[in-house]
Chains A and B, each alone.
Chain A
């Protein structure tokens, strides 16, 4: 072609014609879905403490387990995707989102076998969260240790 924009100008132009999701609408949706998931968690927690006479610590564990179970079942029926499409970060940030990111590759890669399929690919999406999550807590632990040794805390 005769006329060629430079890459920078082209990328700028592309950005100007590319439609974007509305941030406000996304935030509201995320608030609603995230809020619903948390309310559901609180409901399980209350159920555990009121009807099953659990200690708070046990009730929290049960709450997490049931939330994860719910998310995995919904993922299996391909329903969690629909919730996440609507709720965005509201569905991805809670523990249910993490469960979805582990369950989805497990389902997708089971055809490739136990080791190289499920075994290798199970954390393809959640892997970075686990790695950097553990690393961050390790760093915080070191800081905590130093501060404690210096009698700051």
Chain B
């Protein structure tokens, strides 16, 4: 292959020749996440479910605004020097993201990848800075329990019994400021995005919207498999392989699907949805979900562990279930999608 395409790896991956750095990050979550086991890692825990606004929807927008503005403030970069924002949420027509970001005056790419959006926004942000189209960009992803339940399931006060396989939408958002590195300034002091594997839409014909883990596990398995094949590495290459919101049920399925394909990732695997809540005490059934689940967990917990050099390299794989209330009512199956992002810190002193 010619020199100029040397960053292309395997079938659907990229290895960045100058990996972009995540120079700052911010995570804001709701009360319930703030009572969970990862509480101490988040930047802010907001006890007001509407974030001081009038509705769930505007509350989510306010959460996005705060997360982005704090991430930019922490980076020390002037807001006008941010070239693009890549953002998304779960609301119809992305109003959480667009309303929250309207006062920033920064060019915006609105993204929808269901709960895989954090992987999608980071991938595109990394590609943009690595290609030299921008020096600084922001990637942001959010979800809100109130706005998501209202849109996808039932009004909040409605009494019903959730199946044990159901997940709990996380109120939370994570924002990341990415900076382009160069040969002279490799930015090795920060966690860097070494490569990505972009996932495909995978449909195994599951129709149960209360069992999202089963809908998404094949997509996660597919993209992890492809990532390992493309980069020619074993699961041990990563200290952790972190899926987004497969929950307990989805995790079991993922491990089996990969085992069938010759990869055993049981030792490395963890799931943001399982980590973010204490399932027994908080009664969340299969775990947390929503694109804010993986975003807040990455911005809060995972990057913290990387910076603390507890881990050296992780494969971050947010997973999304592709459905709308209409497609579901029309009896369509629920395909999944997942995107893998390799994040690494330099091995150094602990």
Contact = CB atoms under 8 A, between A and B. Distances in A.
Given A14-B211, A17-B249, A80 B159 contact: yes
A148 interface: no
Contact of B165 (A2, A18, A92, A104): A18
Contacts of B206: 10-11, 14
Contacts, number: 99
Contact of A10 (B154, B164, B205, B222): B205
Interface string A1-24: 111010110110110011111000
A92 B211 contact: no
Which among A2, A18, A124, A125 has the highest number of chain B CB atoms within 10 Å? Answer: A18
B158 A7 contact: no
Nearest to B155: A108
Nearest to B225: A1
Nearest to B57: A111
Contact of A17 (B55, B156, B162, B252): B252
Nearest to A91: B159
The 7 closest A-B pairs by CB, nearest first: A84-B159, A7-B205, A108-B155, A104-B158, A104-B157, A104-B155, A14-B214
Nearest to B55: A111
A107 interface: yes
Contacts of B150: 108
B159 A81 contact: yes
Interface in B252-287: 252-253, 256-257, 260-262
A1 B257 contact: yes
Interface extent on B, as a size class?
Answer: 20 to 34
B163 interface: yes
B221 interface: yes
B55 to A, nearest CB: 5
B104 interface: no
Main secondary structure of the interface of B (DSSP, over half): loop
B157 A107 contact: yes
B261 A108 contact: no
B2 interface: no
B329 interface: no
A63 interface: no
A3 B261 contact: yes
Most buried by A among B55, B204, B218: B204
Given A11-B206, A14-B211, A111-B54, A19 B249 contact: yes
Contacts of A76: 157
B157 A18 contact: no
Contacts of A107: 155, 157
Interface string B201-217: 00011100001001000
A116 to B, nearest CB: 14
B335 to A, nearest CB: 11
A75 B156 CA distance: 10
A83 interface: yes
Given A84-B161, A100-B157, 19 more contacts: A2-B261, A5-B260, A7-B205, A11-B204, A13-B253, A18-B163, A19-B164, A21-B163, A75-B159, A78-B156, A80-B157, A83-B159, A84-B159, A88-B161, A92-B159, A101-B158, A104-B156, A104-B157, A108-B157
Contacts of A10: 204-206, 218
A59 to B, nearest CB: 27
Contacts of A108: 150, 155-157
Contacts of A41: none
A42 B289 CA distance: 43
Nearest to B217: A14
Contacts of B160: 84-85, 92
A80 B157 CA distance: 7
B146 to A, nearest CB: 9
Interface in A134-153: none
B204 A5 contact: yes
Contacts of B165: 18-19
A67 interface: no
B164 to A, nearest CB: 4
Interface in A32-55: none
A64 to B, nearest CB: 19
A145 B161 CA distance: 40
A113 to B, nearest CB: 12
Interface string B224-261: 01100000000000000000000001001100110011
B213 to A, nearest CB: 9
A84 to B, nearest CB: 3
